Amino acid sequence: MRIIPAIDIIDGKCVRLSKGDYNTKIIYNENPLEVAKEFEAHGIEYLHLVDLDGAKSSQIVNYKILEQIASKTKLKIDFGGGLKSDADLKIAFESGANQITGGSIAVKNRAIFEKWIAEYGADKIILGADANNEKVAVSGWLEDSDEDLIPFIQEYQNKGIQYVICTDIAKDGMLEGPSFDLYKKILDECNFNSSLSSRAQSGGEIKLIASGGISTFDELPKLAELGCEGIIIGKAIYEGRISMKQLEQYIM
């Protein structure tokens, strides 16, 4: 299972929120590059970088931070937040993103998101399926949609999506443990219970990246056992609940 630390950006600074509420912002470091370099120094290979200003805006905002981290580390970066147009996507990839995550766009403009999957390939485009009571949330989690989470994922699975990041918003930043039951349900219904014919049509099983609520190191092997392909860890690192040494040893 891949370990993917998160850096969330507001005003160019490394922050964390609770349940996606911008009023709960805590600044952990004024210099995101410094944080990224520390991750890399401990053997981390992947980074989840989120432009929270962009998520609230109508376009990508903090792409200069992406550019800086991509040019000064070897981290493989997935970038999300504010990707609303072909121009935004071009900026993200030109700034050094290895993958991009589309959440709101996948709900509000399916045609463009499906075009991205077709043009860039399923290895470059991640579906951001963030949930509030199993309904997909959009616009930096400021809005709920009418989309039911699992049918939403399955629909894009049939369009060729492989990577899915799912955050249970009720858990995010709360350090109360991840949504094991929700992730099991997603994997069961999208992968293990799908027929061979439908898998062949969709291009394969989804690679689920769990996010939100991680609080202790012991939760990692449990998520791996469920079948999660990756795990995004944010506040647990910044609050010292999970040490970089523990992650370094897990990766080795």
Q: Exposure string (b/e) for 178-212, b if CB count within 10 Å is 16 or more?
A: bbbebbbebbeebbeebeeeeeeebeebbbbbbbb
Residue type (1 letter), 152:
F
> What does the alpha-carbon distance between residue 195 and residue 197 come to, in Å, rounded to a whole number?
5
Catalytic residue among 8, 51, 78, 88: 8
Of the listed 78, 88, 130, 172, which one is catalytic? 130
**What are the E-state strand segments in 36-94?**
46-51, 76-80
Distance CA 83, CA 104 (A): 8
Give DSSP secondary structure letters for 187-221. Answer: HIIIIITS-HHHHHHHTS--EEEEES---STTHHH
Helix (H) or strand (E) holding 28: strand 21-29
To the query of whether residue 8 is one of the catalytic residues in this protein, the response is yes
Helix (H, G, I), strand (E, B) or coil at 78: strand
The answer to whether 130 is a known catalytic residue is yes
Q: Report, as residue numbers or ranges, the catalytic residues.
A: 8, 130
